[in-house]
């Protein structure tokens, strides 16, 4: 159960990092 929570947290962090990177690239290109 704990490992499932960790996997979910890791997935959430990965999604946030991808979203931030996309926003950063948009700001850099713009």
Residue 17 is encoded by which pair of tokens?
A: 């990092």
pLDDT of 18: 97
N- to C-terminal Cα separation, the chain: 44
pLDDT of 2: 79
d(CA 13, CA 8): 9
d(CA 14, CA 16): 5
pLDDT digits (tens, 9 = 90+) for 1-30: 678 899 999 999 999 999 999 999 999 887
From residue 28, how far is each of 9, 18, 24 by CA, in Å? 28, 15, 6
pTM: 0.59
pLDDT of 30: 76
């Amino acid at each position: 159960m704990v490992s499932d929570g960790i996997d979910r947290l890791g997935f959430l962090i990965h999604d946030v990092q991808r979203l931030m990177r996309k926003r950063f690239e948009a700001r850099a290109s713009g």
